[in-house]
Amino acid sequence: MRRDKPTTIVCRLFALAPLVALLSACNRAVLDPAGDIALQQRDIIYISTALMLLIIVPVMALIVVFAWRYRAGNKDATYDPKFDHSTSLELVIWSAPLLIIICLGALTWWSTHLLDPFRPVNRIAAGKPVDPRVRPLTVQVVSLDWKWLFLYPEQGIATVNELALPVDRPVRFDLTSTNMMNTFYAPTLAGMIYTMPGMRSTLHAVLNRPGQFDGMSANYSGAGFSDMHFKLYGVDARGFDAWVARVKASGPALDTNRFLALEKPSEKVPALYFSSIDATLFDRIYRRCVRPGTPCMSGMHGGHPAGATPEGALFKPGEAKRGGESVTPAPGAQGSPAPHSHQER
């Protein structure tokens, strides 16, 4: 049986390096972020990889050294079949991994709290804190089958599969889903965040440079999952205003009926624009009562105020469980209650 020399094995490992580099370029957006949150996440990847390589590289090198030194043909190597313990060797073997695990644990704890998606960003970039006079842009995100709906409540517009953000302005995303769990992921902007029916998630982020980037769903959700992508555009403040004006002039209003048509499963949907939106639409999507006559659920975000009693049907006595006023009124109905009012709940 032919045995390869250690030098041959090392050469083969180096020959695989270009292939590894090629594979790493498949998702280069992760390592070339355009947003400060994604940049900090990339740095954590680098630090974690370096810490793990402190063990991996010496172990790989020692495999080659020991295989060469204690090969059968080396008569100068010491052979001790009765060896069973070395205190100094045990200290090296266990202390180094333990220290690295402690460092990784501290890094994970720190980054988990610092980059909590529910936590508003406190800086635009390193050494550039957020201007307290600047209000974060609010974008409401809805994952449908199989497309992304973006609502801009302050601007009164909506888009499908196209997201535009002003550079260097904090953004707050409120996210939910209509049918099944998905994952909102713009790798150059921030990390992944789940969207689920009847639940509202939050993500804070900021985009630091202009450009065109890709976003996607990172959670399998059925037949059209592969094409559930969207375009992310980073523009300056003037460019964002121009984009909003263009959307306002290029599409119909997004009312209840149009949303119900949009909600139907479809694949490979091009960018769509809506010049105006129903101000209560996202809240009704989140509470699963868009269709007229559908009772609204209380939702699964946050909770009830301290001392408050839930008012769902399970907590009502007797006949009070029948019917109820927590429904979406038919289009054009008069006297419909406010979305968060006591009557509507």
Per DSSP bridges, beta strands 162-166 and 229-235 are parallel
Chain segment 117-169, per-residue pLDDT in tens: 999 999 998 889 998 888 999 999 999 999 999 999 999 999 999 999 999 99
Name which residue leads in pLDDT, 30 or 268. Answer: 268
Six token digits for residue 26: 């498949």
pLDDT on residue 268: 92
Residue 344 scores a pLDDT above 70: no
Which DSSP helix (H) or strand (E) runs through 228? none
Contact 200, 176 (CB under 8 A): yes
Non-local (6+) Cβ contacts of 54 within 8 A are 96, 100
Cβ atoms 312, 193 nearer than 8 A: no
Note whether 164 and 240 are within 8 A (CB).
yes
Which residue in 257, 232, 251, 213 sits closest to 171, CA to CA?
232
- Same domain assignment for residues 107 and 134: no
pLDDT more than 70, % of the chain: 79
pLDDT in tens, 71-84: 888 888 777 778 88
**Domain extent at residue 37:** 6-72+86-114
Buried b / exposed e along 54-77 (16+ C-beta atoms within 10 A):
eeeeeeeeeeeeeeeeeeeeeeee
Residue 163 and residue 67 in one domain: no
What Cα–Cα distance (Å) separates residue 203 from each residue in 116, 126, 138, 173, 200? Answer: 8, 20, 10, 5, 10
Are both 93 and 164 inside the same structural domain? no
pLDDT of residue 296: 87
Q: Is residue 323 part of a domain?
A: no
Q: Are residues 264 and 132 in the same domain?
A: yes
Residues 198 and 258 in one domain: yes
Question: What whole-number percentage of the chain has pLDDT above 90?
Answer: 53
Examine the pLDDT at 52 and tell me if it is beyond 70.
Answer: yes
299 confidence band (pLDDT: 50, 70, 90): low
What's the whole-number mean pLDDT along residues 313-341?
46
Say yes or no: 211 and 262 in one domain: yes
Token couple for 69 = 């030194």
Could you tell me if 27 and 62 lie in one domain? yes
pTM of the model: 0.73
- Residue 295 domain flag: no
Over the chain, what is the mean pLDDT?
82
Q: Are 158 and 169 a contacting pair, CB within 8 Å?
A: no
Which amino acid would we find at residue 141? Answer: V
What pLDDT shows up at residue 90? Answer: 87
Taking only Cα atoms into account, the Rg of the chain, rounded to an integer number of angstroms, comes to 28
Is the CB of residue 237 less than 8 Å from the CB of residue 166?
A: yes
Torsion sign (Cα): 126, 131, 134, 140: positive
pLDDT given at position 205 = 95
Say yes or no to pLDDT of 43 above 50. Answer: yes
Residues 225 and 94 in one domain: no
Q: Are residues 237 and 141 in the same domain?
A: yes
Count of domains observed in the chain: 2
Question: Diameter of the chain by CA atoms?
Answer: 97
Rounded to 10 degrees, the C-alpha dihedral 259/263/269/273 comes to 10
pLDDT at 26: 47
DSSP letter for each residue of 29-95? TTTS-SBHHHHHHHHHHHHHHHHHHHHHHHHHHHHHHHHHHT-TT-TTS---TT----HHHHHHHHH
Which stretches of the chain are assigned E, i.e. beta strand? Answer: 123-125, 128-129, 137-144, 147-152, 157-160, 162-166, 171-177, 182-185, 193-195, 201-205, 211-217, 229-235, 253-254, 272-274, 276-277
Would you say residue 135 lies in a domain? yes
The answer to whether residue 234 sits within a structural domain is yes
| pLDDT of 305 above 70 | no
If asked whether residues 57 and 150 sit together in one domain, one would say no
> Residue 155: which CATH number?
2.60.40.420
Quick one: 58 and 139 in the same domain? no
Write phi, then psi, for 190 (nearest 5 degrees). -165, -175
The confidence score (pLDDT) of residue 106 equals 93
Contact 193, 177 (CB under 8 A): no
User: What's the gap between Cα 244 and its chain centre?
Assistant: 25
The verdict on residue 271 lying in a domain is yes
How would residue 213 be classed by pLDDT, with cut points 50, 70 and 90?
very high
Q: Per-residue pLDDT averaged across 272-282, rounded?
A: 94
The encoded tokens of residue 28 equal 């280069």
Shared-domain flag, residues 159 and 179: yes
